[in-house]
Chains A and B, each alone.
Chain A
Amino acid sequence: MAVIRFGNSPFFRNPWAEFDRVRREFDSLIRGLDQYRERTTATVFPSLNISEDAGNIYVQAEVPGLDAGDLNIAVEGDTLTISGERRVCPEAEEEKISYHRRELESGSFNRAVTMPCRIEVEKVQAKAANGLLLITLPKAAEAKPRQIEVVGG
């Protein structure tokens, strides 16, 4: 919005000063709301929780309705790709089905995430149970923290 200043001399008091102030306060208010979200939200299914300890990186995902056979986990370099397809359909194919609520989704998904350090591709393990997927990625030897001995001099 264009602001036309009539001049800052005390003779003409800036009539837009109040508007400016209000606009600045709204700006900082909107910015403040944005920072309120501490947790990053995913935009691609599935949502992941990634954590690490000294030797491994752990990736957890909630994948209800998917067993080990429906999931496709691939590791290339330091990128982990989780993909697959979920189909939720009624058990019996009856002619007359009326839905009261439909909140479950079917469809395909594909998500790739890069690990923060190099991993040993050969030793990656994935386990799916009760709709939870846990992937354990051991860190490559050079990525593990190495204690360096301090020699007294």
Chain B
Amino acid sequence: MTEKEMQVKQKQEVQKSGEPTKPDKYFVPAVDIYETREAVTLLAEMPGVSKDGVEIGLEEDTLTIKGTRGDYAIPGDKVLLQEFESGHYYRNFNLAETIDREAISAKMTAGILTLVLPKMAPAKPRRIEVKG
């Protein structure tokens, strides 16, 4: 099953309305989103971003992930070949499920962010006593 070869993907820049004050470039990170019965899990590829550079926001039903890339420039070098650009990462999603905000967990290793969003447990049925 692992005979497949990986393909090169071009980075896409984020299309933002308006102009930001800083000239930094923001790219769209590739993500995998899958859902099990208990949680929605999101994997985002953000190479160059360390654990401290990740910002996750959840407002209403919009999930925003932002990754700030560290500075890996080598001083005084001359470029021979440049096949990819460096920049920060930004992407947002509209969540369809209601998420238990208290139990969100995030992990960042080797440039991949793993975000687990547990779904809100359905309200437990309550027996209501009828007094006669």
Query: Interface of A with B (CB < 8 Å)?
Result: 39-53, 57-58, 60, 62-67, 85-88, 90-92, 94, 96-110, 116, 128, 130-132, 134
Contact status A60-B72, CB under 8 Å: yes
A42 is contacted by which of B2, B8, B32, B50 (Cβ under 8 Å)? Answer: B8
Give the distance in Å from the alpha carbon of A53 to the alpha carbon of B78 in the complex: 6
Contact status A67-B110, CB under 8 Å: yes
Question: How far in angstroms is the closest Cβ of chain B from A105?
Answer: 5
Q: Does B131 contact A (CB under 8 A)?
A: no
Whether A104 contacts B79 in the complex (CB less than 8 A), given A65-B110, A131-B112, comes out as no
Nearest 4 pairs of A and B residues by beta carbon = A131-B111, A131-B47, A64-B111, A47-B83
Question: How far in angstroms is the closest Cβ of chain A from B83?
Answer: 4
Query: By CB atoms of chain B within 10 A, which of A46, A62, A85, A86 has the most?
Result: A62
A103 is contacted by which of B31, B50, B109 (Cβ under 8 Å)? Answer: B31
Residues of chain B within 8 A (CB-CB) of A102 are: 32, 34
Q: How many A-B residue pairs have CB under 8 A?
A: 149
Query: By CB atoms of chain B within 10 A, which of A41, A94, A107, A130 has the most?
Result: A130
Question: How far in angstroms is the closest Cβ of chain B from A89?
Answer: 10
Query: By CB atoms of chain A within 10 A, which of B31, B41, B48, B110 has the most?
Result: B110
Q: Does B60 contact A (CB under 8 A)?
A: no
Contact status B5-A109, CB under 8 Å: yes
Q: Does B80 contact A (CB under 8 A)?
A: yes
Whether A99 contacts B7 in the complex (CB less than 8 A), given A53-B78, A65-B45, A134-B72, comes out as no
Contact status B47-A48, CB under 8 Å: no
Residues of chain A within 8 A (CB-CB) of B48 are: 62, 130-132
Q: Does B33 contact A (CB under 8 A)?
A: yes
Question: How far in angstroms is the closest Cβ of chain A from B74?
Answer: 5
**In this complex, what residue of A is CB-closest to B38?**
A94
A132 is contacted by which of B10, B47, B78 (Cβ under 8 Å)? Answer: B47
Contact status B34-A53, CB under 8 Å: no
Residues of chain A within 8 A (CB-CB) of B10 are: 41
Residues of chain B within 8 A (CB-CB) of A90 are: 34, 41
Question: How far in angstroms is the closest Cβ of chain B from A142?
Answer: 19
**In this complex, what residue of A is CB-closest to B77?**
A51
